[in-house]
Amino acid sequence: MGSRLEINVTKEEDGTLALIECKGSLDTYTFEQLDMAIDKNFSEGCYRILVDLTHVLRISSAGAGVLVASLKIAQQNGGSMAVVASSTELLEVFDLLGITNVLNLVPQRSDAYAVLRTE
């Protein structure tokens, strides 16, 4: 156990974009925190989501599953999601799970904003 995940949510662009910054481990013990944070934005009508995993040390398939499911919901509601991830460890997990080309993965937050503004 001992997994910790800190989440900070900021609404931007008149509440139409949510920035969700994560720090720690996104795994079997913590994935529900991210799921709830994203769902809260969906319930408020915000379907453009930027998830910043820059400070996430590790991710499990449960954490990755939240990202894939949330992307699908966002797209079904006319929105989109971008994920900032640059660590080799996280990118290897996404690759092993076969979702590298499913998620809008970008190395920097500025790239994520660009993706979300064009979709």
3-state secondary structure 8-41: EEEEECCCCEEEEEEEEEECCCCHHHHHHHHHHH
**Residue 105 pLDDT class (50, 70, 90 cuts):** very high
Architecture of domain 5-118: 2-Layer Sandwich (3.30)
**Token duo for residue 96:** 């092993």
Distance, in Å, from the CA atom of 11 to the CA atom of 20, rounded to the nearest integer, reads 9
**What pTM did the predictor assign?**
0.94
Helix, strand, coil % in the chain, rounded to nearest 5:
40, 30, 30
21-77 tens-digit pLDDT: 999 999 999 999 999 999 999 999 999 999 999 999 999 999 999 999 999 999 999
pLDDT at 15 over 90: no
